[in-house]
Structure 1
Amino acid sequence: MRRLIPTGEATRPVALTEAPQPVPAPGEALIKVEAFAPNRGETFLLEHPEPGLLPGKDIAGLVVQAAADGSGPGIGTRVVGHPARGGWAEYAAVPTHSLAALPDGLDTTRAAALPLAGITALRLLRTAGSVPGRRVLLTGASGGVGHYVTELAVGAGAEVTAVTATPARGERLKGMGARVVHEVDAARGPFDVVLESTGGAALPVALSKVRPGGLLVWFGQASRAPVTLDFFELLKGSERVTIQHFHYAGAPYGSDLSALVRLVERGRLHPEIGRTADWTETAATLVDLRERRIRGKAVLLTGGAR
């Protein structure tokens, strides 16, 4: 079979190569990958790839070999999956606890755009707690996570202010019912919850927008710049604010994937796919994703996606 492997080159981060077909463990199903979606964080790993790195966490396709232990979907089931690695290939072995079956109305292209960003959005909002009637500030809202968080939070009754880099990147969020600004400074606080993914100079500003006793959830550093907090500046702001570190990871993922599938099926969640291309164009797509030239998700097709 063919798979994509890292090259360590900035302008061509991956290349196709021939590789053995994976042998599933007893609790894994073998999936014929029809579509996969890279994440911007994966592009950073490819800059200095560790030996043996096999990228690929968001996939959709067809079960061609059911798990030997009897768990999970049977042969011929269309699924979305979130393996730990190795998804950018013609076949991937995926733990059955990280698979969800797809209904007829959900194509594999849209399904592939769900896993990491969608799971992150669900778990972020659970961390934030009940959001109906609450004021939520979301930074770095242009990407896949931002779109899912905005749609889910607005749908749940939150008043969302989304920070995007440009007006064009904010149009869809505005259409969902969010207030869109392009600088954290422009956000009109105070906010009950701040979901912060930019880091650098933006986090202290976002922190200053939290109401007394409020919550800031720090879930990313898209600026790639470290954060500096000044104790005395904090004293000038709201008291008793909690700063909580967040990382989405932690299998099993199957129940969250099933929840995302149901939300899409019921018209409550709409993946934004900024680019769909054949997987032979993955290297160029990764560069554009890294450089923020793609709005929403990019999905690569290995053939047979529907």
Structure 2
Amino acid sequence: MQRLIPTGDPARPVAFAEAPQPVPEPGEALIKVEAFAPNRGETFLLEHPRPGLLPGKDVAGLVVQAAADGSGPGIGTRVVGHPAHAGWAEYAAVPTHSLAALPDSVDSVRAAALPLAGITALRLLRTAGSLTGRRVLLTGASGGVGHYVTELAVAAGAELTAVTATPARGERLAELGAEVVHDIAAARGPFDVVLESTGGPGLPAALRKARPGGTLVWFGQASRTPATLDFFELLQGPERVTIQHFHYAGAPYGSDLAALVRLVAQGRLHPEIGRVTGWAETAGTLVDLRERRIRGKAVLLTGEGR
């Protein structure tokens, strides 16, 4: 079969290679991949790939071999999956606890855009707690996670302000009900909850927007710059703010994937997909994703040649 492997060249991060079809473990199903969606974090790993790196966490396709232990969906079931790696290929072995069946109303393109960003959004909002009537600030809002957080938080009754780099990147967020600003300083605080994903100077700037006794949940570092906090500067800001580190990981993922699929099927969640193309265009798409030239998610189709 064909799979995409790292090249170590930032200008063309992946190339096609022949590989044996994966042999599933007893608790894994073999999926014929129809679509996959790279994440920006994966583009960073590809700049200096470690030996043996096989990227690919977000896939959708068809079960062609059910799990030997009897768990999970049967042959012929359309699914979305979140494997630990190796999803950018014609076939992927995925643990059944990280799969969810797809109804006919949810296509593979939208399904592939769900796993990492959608699971992150769900778990992030659970961490933040009830948002009804609360004021929320979201930084780095125009990526895949930001779109899901915005739609879900607004639907839950939050008054959400989204920070994006440009007006164009904020258009969809405004349609979803967010107030959009292009600099943290322009956000009209104070906020009960701050969801911070940029790191660098953005984190202390966002922290200053929290209300006394509020919460900042730090879930990313899109700027790729470490944050520096000055204790004495914090004393001049809001009192007793809680800073909480968040990372989405922790299997099983199947129940969260099923919840996301259900929301899409019910018309309550709308993946923001900035590009859909054949997987022959993966290398260029990865570069554009890394350089923030794609709004929302990018989805690659394995059935559309090399």
TM range (shorter): over 0.9
**Structure 1 runs (4+) greater than 3 angstroms displaced:** none
What residue is the counterpart of 1:95 in the other structure? 95
Give the Cα separation in 1 of the matches to 2:297 and 2:96.
Answer: 25
Q: Look up the match of 2:282.
A: 282
Alpha-carbon distance between aligned partners in 2 of 1:138 and 1:272, rounded to the nearest angstrom: 17
**What are the Cα deviations for residues 107-152 of structure 1, in whole angstroms up to 9, with x where unaligned?**
0011000000000000000000000100000000010000000000
Q: Which residue type is aligned with residue 269 of structure 1?
A: L
What is the CA distance between 1:240 and its match in structure 2? 1.0
Name the CA distance, whole Å, in 2 between partners of 1:67 and 1:252.
16
Query: Are residues 1:271 and 2:271 paired?
Result: yes
Structure 1 residue runs of 5 or longer lacking an equivalent are none
Q: What letter corresponds to residue 182 of structure 2 in structure 1?
A: H
1:193 matched to which residue of 2?
A: 193
In 1, the alpha carbon distance for the partners of 2:10 and 2:49 equals 11
Partner of 2:31: 31
Question: In 2, Cα distance between the equivalents of 1:177 and 1:256?
Answer: 24
1:144 and 2:138 equivalent?
A: no
User: What secondary structure sits across from 1:280 in the alignment?
Assistant: helix
Q: Offset at 1:21? A: 0.4
Give the 3-state SS of the residue equivalent to 2:29 in structure 1: strand
Counterpart mapping for 1:75-114 below 5 A: 75-114=75-114
Partners of 2:178 and 2:256 in 1: CA distance:
24
RMSD: 0.9
Q: Does 1:262 align with 2:262?
A: yes
**Counterpart secondary structure, 1:299:** strand
Q: Secondary structure at the match of 1:263?
A: helix
- Partners in 2 of 1:75 and 1:231 — Cα distance? 57
> In the alignment, what sits opposite 1:178?
178
For residues 52-88 of structure 1, the C-alpha deviation after alignment (integer angstroms, 9 at most, x for no partner) is 0000000000000000000000000000000000000
Distance 1:202 1:68 in 2: 48
Q: Aligned runs of 1:229-244 on 2, under 5 Å?
A: 229-244=229-244
Does residue 205 (structure 1) correspond to residue 205 (structure 2)? The answer is yes
Displacement after TM superposition at 1:157 (Å) = 0.3
Give how far 1:288 is off.
Answer: 0.3
Match of 2:158 in 1: 158
How many angstroms apart in 1 are the aligned matches of 2:109 and 2:303? 11
Note if 1:124 corresponds to 2:118.
no
* Partner Cα separation in structure 2 for residue 91 and residue 166 of structure 1: 38
Name 1:63's counterpart in structure 2: 63
Deviations, residues 183-206 of structure 1 (Å, cap 9, x unaligned): 000001100000000011111010
Identical-residue share of aligned pairs (%):
85
Q: Which amino acid aligns with 1:5?
A: I
Alignment correspondent of 2:18: 18
1:275 Cα deviation from its structure 2 partner: 0.3
CA–CA distance in structure 1, aligned partners of residues 289 and 177 of structure 2: 26
Q: Name whichever of 43-52 and 295-304 sits farther off.
A: 295-304
Taking the aligned partners of 1:176 and 1:272, their CA distance within structure 2 comes to 11
Compute the displacement of 1:303 (Å). 1.0
Instruction: Specify the SS of the correspondent of 1:63.
Output: strand
- Which whole-Å CA distance do the structure 1 matches of 2:84 and 2:191 have between them? 35
Which AA in structure 2 matches 1:296? G
Number of residue equivalences:
305
Q: Distance in 1 between matches of 2:31 and 2:176?
A: 34
2:205 maps to a residue whose letter is V
Match of 1:299 in 2: 299
- Residue 239 of structure 1 deviates from its aligned partner by 1.1
The alpha carbon displacement at 1:238 in A equals 1.1
Structure 2 counterpart of 1:226, which letter? P
Measured after TM superposition, the shift of residue 5 of structure 1 is: 0.3
Question: Hey, what's the Cα distance between the residues in 2 that align with 1:226 and 1:254?
Answer: 33
